[in-house]
Amino acid sequence: AQSVAQPEDQVNVAEGNPLTVKCTYSVSGNPYLFWYVQYPNRGLQFLLKYITGDNLVKGSYGFEAEFNKSQTSFHLKKPSALVSDSALYFCAVRDGRGGATNKLIFGTGTLLAVQP
């Protein structure tokens, strides 16, 4: 079955320090992976995607993600955290079973708290 796992419910980091939010995946076939961010009382905002190509993917707001096939991971990173990055982050995989679909399977989410 297609799935993603986010092993950390919460990540705490000081402003200015690098941050990593972890995600591992389990898929049959090629993985199409995504990161979304959700601010309080808001919908999800797309950050970045991995479809194919370079293992380091750059996205919005200075975020990037590293795809690692051998470790089946897709960790979200940022070199220098901002207080405004504090939000709920979701890793997702597109469910490729059953043909053409835009259906996403989401992880449980990781709350990122950046302290000033």
Partner 1 sequence: KAGVTQTPRYLIKTRGQQVTLSCSPISGHRSVSWYQQTPGQGLQFLFEYFSETQRNKGNFPGRFSGRQFSNSRSEMNVSTLELGDSALYLCASSSQALSYEQYFGPGTRLTVT
Which one of 10-18, 20-28, 77-85, 100-108 is the stretch in contact with partner 1 (CB under 8 A)?
100-108
Cα–Cα distances (Å) from 35 to 68, 99, 116, in that order, read 15, 22, 24
φ, ψ dihedrals at 83, nearest 5°: -55, -35
Query: Does residue 105 belong to the site contacting partner 1 (CB under 8 A)?
Result: yes
Query: Does residue 101 belong to the site contacting partner 1 (CB under 8 A)?
Result: yes
Burial group, residue 5, by CB count within 10 angstroms (0-12, 13-18, 19+): middle
Query: Does residue 53 belong to the site contacting partner 1 (CB under 8 A)?
Result: no
Query: Does residue 60 belong to the site contacting partner 1 (CB under 8 A)?
Result: no
Binding region for partner 1 (CB under 8 A): 32, 36, 41-46, 49, 51, 90, 95, 98, 100-109
